[in-house]
A and B are shown apart, each in its own frame.
Chain A
Amino acid sequence: MGKDAVAQTQFLQRKDLQTLLDTLIAAGYHCLGPQVRDGAIVYDVLADVSHLPVAVHDQQAPGKYHLHYSQGLRSFAWANGPLALKPLLFSAREVLWSAERDDEGKIQFVQVKPAVQKTAVIGVRSCDLAAMRIQDQVFLEQQYKDENYQARREALFTVAVNCSHPADTCFCASTGDGPTAKSGYDLLLTELDDGFLVAAGSEVGKQIFIQLPLEQASDQQHFIAGEQALHAEQTQTRKLPQAGLAEKLLANLDHPRWQEVAERCLSCGNCTMVCPTCFCHKETEQPQLDGRSTEHLREWDSCFTQGHSYIHGTVIRDDTEKRYRQWLSHKLATWLQQFGNSGCVGCGRCISWCPAAIDLTEEANAIAGDEGD
Chain B
Amino acid sequence: MLAELVDIVHFAEAGPVEPDARVDIAFVEGSITTAGELQRIQRVRANSRYLITIGACATAGGIQALRNNANVRDWMAAIYAQSEFIDTLETSTAIAEHVRVDFELWGCPISSQQIVAVIRALLFGVVPLQEQDSLCFECKRQGNVCVLVTGQQACMGPVTKAGCGALCPKFGRACYACYGPKENANPDSLSQRFQGFGLLPDEIAHKFLSINNSAPVFAEAGKKAKENGHD
Is chain B found bound to chain A in the same assembly?
A: yes
A residues with a Cβ closer than 8 A to B are: 37-40, 42, 63-66, 82-83, 87, 92-93, 263-270, 273-274, 284, 287, 289-291, 299-300, 302, 305-307, 318-320, 352-353, 355-357
- Interface stretch among B12-20, B46-54, B136-144, B201-209? B136-144
Q: Mark each residue of chain B from 75 to 103: 1 if its CB lies under 8 Å from any CB of chain A, else 0.
A: 00000000000000000000000000000
Known: A269-B137, A291-B120. A353 touches B146 (CB 8 A): yes
Q: Nearest Cβ distance between residue A99 and chain B, in whole angstroms? A: 13
B146 pairs with A307, CB closer than 8 A: no
A357 pairs with B145, CB closer than 8 A: no
Known: A284-B129, A291-B123. A265 touches B186 (CB 8 A): yes
A355 pairs with B190, CB closer than 8 A: yes
Q: Nearest Cβ distance between residue A37 and chain B, in whole angstroms? A: 7
Bound-state CA distance A66–B133 (Å) is 27
Q: Is B35 an interface residue (CB 8 A)?
A: no
- Interface stretch among B36-44, B58-66, B154-162, B210-218? B154-162
Bound-state CA distance A338–B57 (Å) is 48
Residue pairs across A and B with Cβ atoms less than 8 A apart, 9 shown, are A39-B151, A87-B143, A268-B136, A291-B120, A307-B132, A307-B133, A353-B146, A353-B149, A356-B158
Return the 5 tightest CB-CB contacts between A and B, nearest first. Answer: A273-B140, A92-B141, A268-B158, A39-B150, A38-B145
Q: Nearest Cβ distance between residue B181 and chain A, in whole angstroms? A: 12
Point out the residues of chain A lying under 8 angstroms from B158, CB to CB. Answer: 266, 268, 270, 355-356
List 15 other contacts, CB 8 Å, given A299-B141, A353-B149: A64-B152, A65-B150, A66-B150, A265-B189, A267-B184, A287-B124, A289-B5, A291-B120, A300-B140, A302-B133, A306-B132, A307-B133, A320-B186, A355-B136, A355-B149
A355 pairs with B129, CB closer than 8 A: no
Residue in A305, A355, A356 with the greatest tally of chain B CB atoms within 10 Å: A355
Point out the residues of chain A lying under 8 angstroms from B141, CB to CB. Answer: 92-93, 273, 299-300
Q: Is B183 an interface residue (CB 8 A)?
A: yes
Contact of A82 among B145, B184, B185 (CB under 8 A): B145
Point out the residues of chain B lying under 8 angstroms from A287, CB to CB. Answer: 120, 124
Q: Nearest Cβ distance between residue B148 and chain A, in whole angstroms? A: 5
Bound-state CA distance A273–B172 (Å) is 19
- Of all chain B residues, the one with the shortest Cβ separation from A356 is B189
Q: Nearest Cβ distance between residue A17 and chain B, in whole angstroms? A: 25
Point out the residues of chain B lying under 8 angstroms from A291, CB to CB. Answer: 5, 120, 123-124
- Of all chain A residues, the one with the shortest Cβ separation from B123 is A291
B150 pairs with A267, CB closer than 8 A: no
Point out the residues of chain B lying under 8 angstroms from A39, CB to CB. Answer: 145, 150-151
Q: Is B10 an interface residue (CB 8 A)?
A: no
Point out the residues of chain A lying under 8 angstroms from B190, CB to CB. Answer: 266, 355-356
B residues with a Cβ closer than 8 A to A are: 1-2, 5, 116, 119-120, 123-124, 129, 132-134, 136-137, 140-152, 155, 157-159, 172, 183-186, 188-190, 192-193
B1 pairs with A270, CB closer than 8 A: no
Contact of A42 among B1, B129, B137, B143 (CB under 8 A): B143
Point out the residues of chain B lying under 8 angstroms from A274, CB to CB. Answer: 140
Point out the residues of chain B lying under 8 angstroms from A87, CB to CB. Answer: 143
Known: A87-B143, A355-B190. A306 touches B137 (CB 8 A): no
A355 pairs with B124, CB closer than 8 A: no
Q: Nearest Cβ distance between residue B1 and chain A, in whole angstroms? A: 5
Point out the residues of chain B lying under 8 angstroms from A37, CB to CB. Answer: 145
Q: Nearest Cβ distance between residue A64 and chain B, in whole angstroms? A: 6
B133 pairs with A289, CB closer than 8 A: no
- Of all chain B residues, the one with the shortest Cβ separation from A319 is B184
Contact of B172 among A38, A64, A320 (CB under 8 A): A38
Bound-state CA distance A306–B184 (Å) is 8
A40 pairs with B134, CB closer than 8 A: no
Point out the residues of chain A lying under 8 angstroms from B142, CB to CB. Answer: 92
- Of all chain B residues, the one with the shortest Cβ separation from A308 is B133
Point out the residues of chain B lying under 8 angstroms from A38, CB to CB. Answer: 144-145, 147, 150, 172
Known: A82-B145, A299-B141, A355-B193. A266 touches B134 (CB 8 A): yes
Point out the residues of chain A lying under 8 angstroms from B1, CB to CB. Answer: 289-290
Point out the residues of chain B lying under 8 angstroms from A263, CB to CB. Answer: 186, 188-189
Contact of A357 among B5, B184, B193 (CB under 8 A): B193
Known: A42-B145, A65-B149, A65-B150. A269 touches B134 (CB 8 A): yes
Bound-state CA distance A352–B149 (Å) is 7
Contact of A92 among B129, B140, B148 (CB under 8 A): B140
Bound-state CA distance A264–B189 (Å) is 5
Bound-state CA distance A38–B129 (Å) is 33
B183 pairs with A306, CB closer than 8 A: yes
Point out the residues of chain A lying under 8 angstroms from B150, CB to CB. Answer: 38-40, 65-66
- Of all chain B residues, the one with the shortest Cβ separation from A317 is B184
A320 pairs with B124, CB closer than 8 A: no
A302 pairs with B137, CB closer than 8 A: yes
B149 pairs with A266, CB closer than 8 A: no
